[in-house]
Amino acid sequence: MANTGKRVAVVLAKNFEDIEATSPIEALEGAGAEITIIGTETGPIEGKKGAVLEATTTFKDVTLADFDMLLIPGGGAPENLRIDGGAVAWTKAFTESSKPVGAICHGAQLLISADVLRGRTLTAVNKVRDDVRNAGGNYVDEALVIDGNLITSRVPGDLPQFNDALVSALNGNS
């Protein structure tokens, strides 16, 4: 498909859940999006199961205007990103910009640290449901939850619905 001119920021750190990054990236690229991997530093980032994706930029080198959507894959990456002040501040600002934000599995951990879940309904892997509630979010156990600009799913089994929702949001359909 032709490039849509839409740009998606994928925030990653080591130990990301491979399929939760690669599957949405493939779906978004298939819809014509340009993907940029953002890390705490540039270079290869290794997933839990051996996938390697290249961070071509860092949080200090990008602006919100550079992107149309934010994707936060799960696994250990959100836990590693949430201790980085730049990653947290950038995620907070992006989420508050009302542009689409997709988070799957442990991705909610970065949103929790960014303090953007108060009053929002979302889902995540059930291991972080209490953390979501403690951050003021309304946790529900569903395959896909869309609350305004926030698009969330629980686990790799939810990827078909999650990917469809991301592509729809990227194309301006909610």
pLDDT at 149: 97
pLDDT at 174 over 60: no
DSSP 166: H
Q: If you average pLDDT over residues 105-109, what whole number do you get?
A: 98
pLDDT at 77 over 60: yes
Q: If you average pLDDT over residues 140-149, what whole number do you get?
A: 98
pLDDT at 172: 87
Question: Any idea where the domains of the chain sit in the sequence?
Answer: 7-169
pLDDT at 109 over 80: yes
Report how far apart, in Å, the C-alpha atoms of 144 and of each of 71, 98, 106, 166 are. 15, 19, 14, 11
Report how far apart, in Å, the C-alpha atoms of 85 and of each of 40, 98, 129 are. 10, 21, 23
- Find all residues with CB under 8 Å of 120, minimum gap 6, and list them: 136, 137, 138, 147, 148, 150
CB-neighbour burial class of residue 98 (10 A; exposed 0-12, middle 13-18, buried 19+): exposed
Q: What is the pLDDT of residues 9-66, one digit of tens each?
A: 999 999 999 999 999 999 999 999 999 999 999 999 999 999 999 999 999 999 999 9
Amino acid at 48: K
Length of the chain: 174
pLDDT at 132: 98
Q: If you average pLDDT over residues 66-90, what whole number do you get?
A: 97
Amino acid at 69: M
DSSP E strand stretches across 12-128 = 34-39, 43-46, 52-55, 57-58, 69-72, 101-104, 121-122
Structure tokens at 23: 């599957």
Residues with catalytic roles: 105-106
- Under CATH, which architecture does the 7-169 domain have? 3-Layer(aba) Sandwich (3.40)
Q: Is the sign of the CA dihedral 163, 126, 18, 41 positive or negative? A: positive
Q: If you average pLDDT over residues 129-144, what whole number do you get?
A: 98
Write the DSSP string, 43-62. EEEE-TTS-EEEE-EEGGG-
